Structures are given as C-alpha cells and as structure tokens.
Amino acid sequence: MKRPALITIIAAIGTVAVAALIPPPVIAATGDGWVSQVGTYDYLVKPDYDGLAPVDSVTAGTTLGLGTFDQLNGELVMVGGVVYRVGTDGVPAIAASSATTPFLQVIRFAPDRSAPVPPGTLCSALPALVDAVAGTSGGMVAVRVRGTFTSVVTRSVPAQAEPYPTLATVVATQTLFDLGSRRAVLVGFRTGPDLAGTGAPGLHLHGITADRTAGGHVISCVAGADVQLSVQVAAGVRVSGQS
C-alpha cells in the first residue's frame, strides 16, 4: 500500500519552475487560479498506473479537467464540474465517487482570454493558437475549445495489469472513435517546457459531445464555423501523489 505523498507546489516564475513541498493531506482545490493535480506525467511513464488518490479528493470546487483512472481504466473528462469516465465503448458515464486516479488535473475554470478558432483549423494547430491567445509558451494554461467540429476523433484504452506495459504499448491497443461532425467541448491543459514532466508535453485535450453521448482523449479535430477558444493562465500547480 502506498503511503500518502507530500504535496508539491509548482509555480512558473519567468521561465524557471519553482517547487516546494508541504505536508499532506491533499489540498482541496479552490478558485485561486491554481491547477490541482494528482500524480505527474512522469509518474505514468515509469510506467505506473496505480491510483494515488480518490478523484473526489481534489475535484471539489473545480469545473474543468482531465486524467485517467486506476490501472489506466478509461479516459477522465471533467466539464461543468461533472467527472465522466469514457471506457472502450466510447460512452461517457458519470464516474463513481470511489474511483481513484494515478493522474488528474483540474481547475476552477475562469477564462481570462478568448478568441474564435478559424474554421478548418486542425487540432494540431491549436497549441500555437493557445500560446498566442495566452500570451505565453510557458507555465500551465487551462484550455477550453467548444463549438461545432466538422470532425472529431477520440480514443480510450482498456485497464492494464501489472507488470504495467509502457504508455506506447498501451496506446497501441487504443480504441478509436470517429465522432464525425458534432457539437462538443474539448478541455485540458497546455504544459510549457518549464514544467516538463508535470503534465503531458504540449497541449493535452479530452473531449465530450454536447449531448454527452461520446468522448475520450482527443486524437484529432477540425473546427467548424462557431468554435471558440478560451484560456486561463494558471498561477501554478499543486501536485499530490506518491512520495
């Protein structure tokens, strides 16, 4: 059984990532502009997919986020304060209150900047647009992209068993969902190079359709005529997990 972790406070000051440790328990998320996080991307790539904390221990008071579940059992997407699990059937279901997570990032989303996404924009072009709207390529930026997409492709992966395979091996078993033209909201975080290893490198998005019938980790998308990008430059990241 894993012992409780210390909590790492990570803030980007200029281009330098500053970290400090404070005692447990897990900090309850607030509306102070900080990202509350369980585990790190580096933890996943060990690889280690054991749940580190209950999902509901860090989601109180937050509205937007993403992550995964114990043993990498499905994709986690949080929209409007509701946590959904998207399994290999591609159908979102409200996550059980007892669910644990090895990796989770959440924030009380209060966007400070927004801009329309030009029609035809590919998901692969969104990182540069996020940096331009946020006015920075560093730190952690919370992201919401919503509207009508002419194409959305998502994925989920099955639960893993020890000894855990690498993430690359797991992704090779992913199930893809071609959602076609849908109204949807994509949410996630852009991790700058100064916070490497904290979150997934670059822009990491999970999505869910407006009717809550499909979703998952976003593989690709094409913006339609009414897509809006909103961002919030986070003050920093509170990370709890395995010590």
Domains and CATH numbers, the chain: 7-108 (3.30.1330.80), 113-233 (3.30.1330.80)
- Of 15-24, 42-51, 212-221, least confident by mean pLDDT is 15-24
- The pLDDT assigned to 19 comes to 39
The whole-number average pLDDT for the span 29-52 is 90
User: What is the residue-averaged pLDDT of the chain?
Assistant: 89
Does the structure show a pLDDT above 70 at 134? Answer: yes
Does the structure show a pLDDT above 60 at 47? Answer: yes
Of all residues in the chain, the percent with pLDDT exceeding 90 is 85
Q: How far is the CA of 131 from the CAs of 18, 34, 53, 62, in angstroms?
A: 21, 18, 31, 23
pTM of the shown model? 0.90
Structure tokens at 8: 């790492």
- The pLDDT assigned to 242 comes to 56
- Segment 99-129, tens digit of pLDDT: 999 999 999 999 999 999 999 999 999 999 9
Does the structure show a pLDDT above 80 at 173? Answer: yes
Which one has a higher pLDDT value, 183 or 9? 183
The whole-number average pLDDT for the span 153-179 is 97
Least Cα distance to 171 among 92, 238, 96, 75 occurs for 75
- Segment 54-112, tens digit of pLDDT: 999 999 999 999 999 999 999 999 999 999 999 999 999 999 989 999 999 999 999 99
| Three-state SS annotation for 162-214 | CCCCCHHHHHCCCEEEEEEEEEEEEEEEEECHHHECCECCEEEEEEEECCCCC
- The pLDDT assigned to 10 comes to 58
- Segment 10-40, tens digit of pLDDT: 554 333 343 333 333 344 445 789 999 999 9
